Structure 1
Amino acid sequence: MWILLFLQILAYSEGLHGRWHFNDVRAIFSRRYLLQNTALEIFLSNRTSVMFNLANKATVKKVVAALPRVGVGLKYAIPPSRRVSLASSKQLFKASTMTQAWQRREISNFEYIMYLNTIAGRTYNDINQYPIFPWVLTNYESNELDLTLPSNFRDLSKPIGALNPSRKAFFQERYETWEDDKIPPFHYGTHYSTSAFTLGWLIRIEPFTTFFLNLQGGKFDHATRTFSSVATAWKNCQRDTSDVKELIPEFYYLPDMFVNENKFNFGKLEDGSLVDDVFLPPWAKSPEDFIRINKLALESEFVSCQLHQWIDLIFGYKQRGPEAVRATNVFYYLTYEDSVNLDSIEDPVMREAIENQIRSFGQTNSHEYIFFSDPAGASGAPGFSMEASKNLLIDMDPLILSQNGMHRRQITDNIDPDIKKKPHCYVVTADNRFIMACGFWDKSFRIYVADSSKVSQVVYGHWDVVTCLVRSECPVSGDCYIVSGSRDATLLVWHWSAKLQWVLGDSHTHGEVATPRSILTGHDTEVTCAAVCTELGLVASGSKGGTCLLHTVTGDLLRTLTPPTECSSPRLASMAAETGVILIAYDRGQICAFTINGKYLEMATVSSTINALRMKSEGDYFITGGEGKVVQVWRTHDLQLMYTFPLCDASILALDIAHGQRTIIAGMATGSIVAFRINFHKWHHEYREAY
């Protein structure tokens, strides 16, 4: 018996202890646990977070006082201080500029909802108060979905329980006729977000499968109650008086949640069919397609103009009081923060019973976390106006910024001749002050001052010549990762700060010899390409002969990316955080798309050799250039060619997209730099309407 108990504990013990360096701390938030303000969540530079439940509020303050003064990070434009980490959500909301940024269309609806979840105390680290997202569509049965029809969208001014008039009347009658003196009246005995609902959505992927089994006593639920169809789940939310749940953020970015990859036995439905992969709407060709279209719906003009009303229900003034009653939005009393003081309950049995009830009923955001939306300002919510879409799509005449023979930066000292022969560029611009270069015979890569020939840093670490060098900087935290690949079949990850300081595990160093943050292994031959995404903490790389691998920036090997057999040797790589798509270009002109979980999606073929590959920051489009002397724009989700710019006068060696996403910069073999104007926003708008 003791052995069995020990094994059960072991299954959950991973991650219960650890060590985190102070220099890795990027943000600190105070949190609730079981409706008590006794927890802290610490966000780290490796894109993870850890949550601690402490003894009481006083202990929380002491721990915050001992931690770095980072506040809640830089993302919300709030000055970092320890006081900010202890601020209420209402205070954070007032101090932040995120709402104004959302109204100016500078951030997406998804980003804004995640921001509200974060400052309201909802977190991925607590299943009882998991981030909450809205259902936005109502049509899950048609073969095609028109995102311009209002009838395909949910009324976001009403809670899920009030969308069906007859069910709304049932809930209102319950509230009005309630006679229990000990329990306050309520509309809903269940909640829009509970641990059971969250685990039910994510039941097909670990560790949530194990968590669900633990919650259910080691068994899966009855097949008819298991999440097996998106359409059925939506219908149940309209007719079942015990089902008023909203969605979780994974519905907008994680296609894997719909696939029973581990082949769990969930039982059979009443018609005898097995519960396996989730049945998707007919308009979705695949889980990836469903996620993409659902995200398009979330970012649509119709949702943007209504979203503030849903925010009022979940995070705003319609949570409690007369406004909540009028909106049919009152939940069971134990979902509210001030409903019970656990510290005042001396009976351990009673306290445990109350805690279990809190875990079961879900947790409503505190009445202190009240956000008043601005309906007038909602018209400025993210979206694209019809007038704006009339802008010129492409400027057909490229602008020559610099011509061959004019001043341009030359880095030729000590470069390996074989590296010089490679068509893709070996010089990487770090910022407007520094330039990085690789390929030197002494096995280093170097950082130069951009406006002079002065070498700022010579960085060693590889056993052979460095063959590729990439960088990625997070615009929020300022963290920057540089990844160098070599003929020695390894990649080194260097953590670099905005002030040209190398982060060496425990401390920042000034002028000291740099050491890599981690070493990535797994390749057997020369590394030919790499891509790093600081926001995801991932590195994709390819080597001579065809092997493509996916690592974390901390050195863990996650996946092998397996392309079709006709793809020979990887040549270029690119990755975007928002879509979670990795692109690999191969020697024979093939471009393959993979998910960050290693699933092969699709392949396209370019007639000429590709020398440059660059994804748009949102990941919905990418550009290519090469020996064919043309710059081409592609759509990421189906690898469809969208546009080919006019023929250039030489091969294209390098590409980038300028700030603002309105200009493509192309570096030519002649030394010229050519700029093309482009309007990605109009493409996105026109495609969305056509779909």
Structure 2
Amino acid sequence: MDNPNDVKELIPEFFYFPEFLENQNGFNLGQLQMSKEVVNDVVLPKWAHSPEDFIYMCMYIGTHTMENMIMFMDALFGGFGQMGSNAGKALFLCISVDLDALTDEKERKALEGMINNFGQTPCQLLKEPHPPRLSAEEVVQRLARSDTSTLNLFHHLTELKSFFIEGISDGVPIVKAVVPRNQSRSFMSQGSPEILVTTSLNCLIGTHGWLPYDKNISNYFTFIRDATVTNPKTQRNIGGPFAPGLEITSKLFAVSHDAKLLFSGGHWDNSIRVTSLTKGKLVGQHIRHMDIVTCLAIDYCGIHLISGSRDTTCMIWQIVQQGGVPVGLAPKPLQILYGHTDEVSSVGISTELDMAVSGSKDGTVIIRTVRKGQYVRTLRPPCESSLLLNVPNLAVSWEGHIVVHTSIEGKTTLKDKNALHLFSVNGKYLCSETLKEEVSDLCVTGEHIVMGSLQGFLSIRDLYSLNLIISPLAMRLPIHCISVTKEYSHILVGLEDGKLIIVGVGKPAEMRSGQLSRKLWGSSKRLSQISSGETEYNTQDPK
């Protein structure tokens, strides 16, 4: 490390791929010459508990390095630190030579050879320091001062507040609440509300107005209730009844990313139905499964939809688009996936990582490819009980981590009945955590797991350790669905009594409560909107 001619650089695997540190194939790598110790896995520093921990710390340190890259730039490449008194403070300098000032011909040719091989930097291009690069926290703080930006709730977990909205589905559980992430926005519609989609247990559809960044009101958001949900003459419903005796959960519904289409399963005729959210009419009906469809999921890009069924199969469907707008599903599935021996109970898909993941009542999780439908591997979450293990929920992170919720069938008490498990993108089992409640819905957002339970608790856990980050928020009633908005500004929670709870960063003491007056692009009128979520919801766990 002391030789200036010996240049070392970390390969990309140091920042994402822990498997390269392990001799998983058991190759004979020989012995050390002095101690005769067998060479096997890479010996990690003492501060790293595992290869995964080592890679995670490399990623964290890499972020710190990028924030301090300014010092490197000033010392090299003709920067501020190349000349004068600043050069003496630098630990190293690039080759910067004035060839015209050399009188020794041999020395000149030697330096020319070094320059041809290694290059050189100008003596000095900049006479002022580079502007510093903002850290992630500084960017958030700067954006928070803007009237058109949101606060990331995961950066302010100690400041969360909850507000409730009524009148959407009074007395009937909300089983789906989501703000689609890629709603089409023209220049003229900037600043106007987006769509928040809700679906109730009685098949009632709501498309509400949603603005997550109203800094002029106490709760930061504006919710504009869909007037059609309270008028029997204008109500929009999912066409066709559900199968008798089927538990209606959020897994039976998926919304296209442009908020135009609602996909639903669980129907008596084994179909996947496509409903227009704007017209409330059935625009597609696909019967390919041999039994009831039990779960649906859409990938991050909105290209593919995956379905699971009681017939033990999964199907990957292409979402058909016209002019960049989804209009339905292809007539035939892209892939039909086999392998389970019991009903498929949960699915997840990542087109970017070419991963289709399914969990079943047979206690297994199977990974296959999206493009070719090839089998990759089977995951078996650990369980000490001899009773049947079910996989009611799972989620795939952006980096491919697989979060699996398991429940032991037939166990009457909650003790040790439910657990959360984490697997790497390559199927390596990482850790588990026993749960004290029955999970009804979960999602992975960045480095966080957000879960809702039938016992009425909203939990936020760290993705890599599965540990609770904050104390669970008590919603007092069973939670039927949860989702995180695309800006990471709010968590939407659907309760059994039909209330929609909106959890976000609220600071009523610092903001003006009441009415918001907003001027829309292309309109000479001023639109007055009063948030329907002005009432704070008490999430303290009763003693």
If the length of structure 1 is used for normalisation, what is the TM-score?
0.50
| Cα deviation, residue 545, structure 1 | 1.9
State whether structure 2 residue 287 is matched by structure 1 residue 485: no
Gaps of 5+ in 1: 1-237, 332-362, 504-509, 680-691
1:557 pairs with 2:375? yes
* CA offset digits 1:44-97 (Å, max 9, x no partner): xxxxxxxxxxxxxxxxxxxxxxxxxxxxxxxxxxxxxxxxxxxxxxxxxxxxxx
From the two aligned structures, give the one with the greater helix fraction. Answer: 1
Tell me if the contact between 2:318 and 2:330 (Cα under 8 Å) persists in the aligned partners. Answer: no
CA contact (8 A) 1:631 1:645 kept: yes
Classify 1:386/1:437 alpha carbon distance in 2 versus 1 (closer, same or farther; 3 Å): closer
Task: State the 1:499 CA deviation.
Answer: 4.5
The number of residues matched between the two structures is 386
- The residue type paired with residue 482 of structure 1 is L
The residue that corresponds to 2:190 in the other structure is none
Residue 609 (structure 1) aligned with residue 443 (structure 2) = no
Q: What is the aligned partner in structure 1 of residue 420 from structure 2?
A: 591
2:134 is aligned to: 380
Aligned residue for 2:451, secondary structure, equals: strand
Mark the CA change 1:513 to 1:632 in structure 2 (over 3 Å): closer, same or farther.
closer
Structure 1: distance between partners of 2:390 and 2:495: 24
SS of the residue aligned with 1:378? coil
Instruction: Select 1:443's aligned residue among 263, 266, 270.
Output: 270
Question: What RMSD over aligned residues (CA atoms) do the two structures have, in Å?
Answer: 3.6
Q: How far is 1:295 from its partner?
A: 1.0
Q: Does 2:43 match 1:279?
A: yes
In the TM superposition, residue 248 of structure 1 has moved relative to its aligned partner by: 1.8
Distance across 2 between alignment mates of 1:364 and 1:435: 59
CA deviations on 1:521-577 (whole Å, 9 max, x unpaired) are 211221110111222121111111201111111211111112112471101010112
CA contact (8 A) 2:156 2:505 kept: no
The equivalent residue for 2:394 is 573
Q: Which residue matches 2:252?
A: 426
SS at match of 1:293: helix
Contact 1:487 1:527 in 2 (8 A): yes
Aligned partner of 2:161: which letter?
M
Displacement of 1:401: 6.0
Residues 454, 478 of structure 2: 8 Å contact kept: yes
Question: Structure 2: how far apart are the matches of 1:500 and 1:415?
Answer: 33
What secondary structure does 2:470 align onto? strand
User: Judging changes above 3 Å, is the alpha-carbon distance between structure 1 residues 425 and 486 closer, same or farther for their aligned structure 2 residues?
Assistant: closer
CA drift of 1:383 comes to 4.6
Native 8 Å contact 1:299 1:382 kept in 2: no
Which of 286, 298, 303 does residue 471 from structure 1 map onto?
A: 298
1:669 to 1:499, Cα distance in 2 relative to 1, 3 A: farther
d(CA) in 1 for partners of 2:17, 2:440: 31
Aligned to 1:75: none
Counterpart CA distance in 1 for 2:377 and 2:118 is 38
**Greater relative contact order structure (CA < 8 Å, 6+ sep):** 2
SS at match of 1:640: coil
1:442 CA displacement: 1.9
1:471, 1:451 → 2: CA distance? 20
Structure 2 counterparts to residues 221-370 of structure 1, below 5 A: 238-240=1-3, 243-269=6-32, 270-300=34-64, 303-307=65-69, 329=94
Structure 1 residue 251, shift from structure 2 partner:
0.8
Alignment of 1:529-544 (within 5 A): 529-544=346-361
Shift of residue 429, structure 1, vs aligned partner: 2.1
- Structure 2 counterparts to residues 118-133 of structure 1, below 5 A: none
Given that residues 449 and 455 in structure 1 are in contact (C-alpha distance below 8 angstroms), is that contact kept between their aligned partners in structure 2?
yes
Deviations 1:628-658 (A, max 9, x none): 1010111111110122343224211111001
Structure 2: 5+ residue stretches without partners: 84-89, 97-116, 145-153, 171-228, 408-416, 507-543
Contact 2:452 2:480 in 1 (8 A): yes
Give the match's secondary structure for 1:285: coil
Match in the other structure for 2:113 = none
Task: Write the deviation string for residues 99-121 of structure 1: whole angstroms up to 9, x where unpaired.
Answer: xxxxxxxxxxxxxxxxxxxxxxx
Q: How does 1:73-84 map to 2 (within 5 A)?
A: none
Instruction: Give the AA of the match of 1:490.
Output: T
Q: Does structure 1 retain, via aligned residues, the 8 Å contact 2:264–2:274? A: yes
8 A contact 2:437–2:455 mirrored in 1: yes
> 1:299, 1:383 within 8 Å by CA — same for their partners in 2?
no
Question: Is the Cα contact below 8 Å between 1:423 and 1:653 reproduced in 2?
Answer: yes
Q: Which residue of 2 aligns with 1:671?
A: 498
Amino acid at match of 1:521: Y
Q: 2:460 — aligned with what?
A: 633
Contact 2:161 2:505 in 1 (8 A): no
2:174 matched to which residue of 1?
Answer: none
The Cα of 1:495 is off from its aligned counterpart by 2.5
**Over residues 114-171 of structure 1, what are the superposed CA-to-partner deviations in whole Å (9 max), with x where a residue is unaligned?**
xxxxxxxxxxxxxxxxxxxxxxxxxxxxxxxxxxxxxxxxxxxxxxxxxxxxxxxxxx
More strand as a share of residues: 2
Deviation at 1:375, TM superposition (A): 6.0
The Cα of 1:380 is off from its aligned counterpart by: 2.9
Q: Deviations over 1:454-495 (max 9, x none)?
A: 112222322222111100133xxxx52210111121111123
Counterpart for residue 400 of structure 1: 165
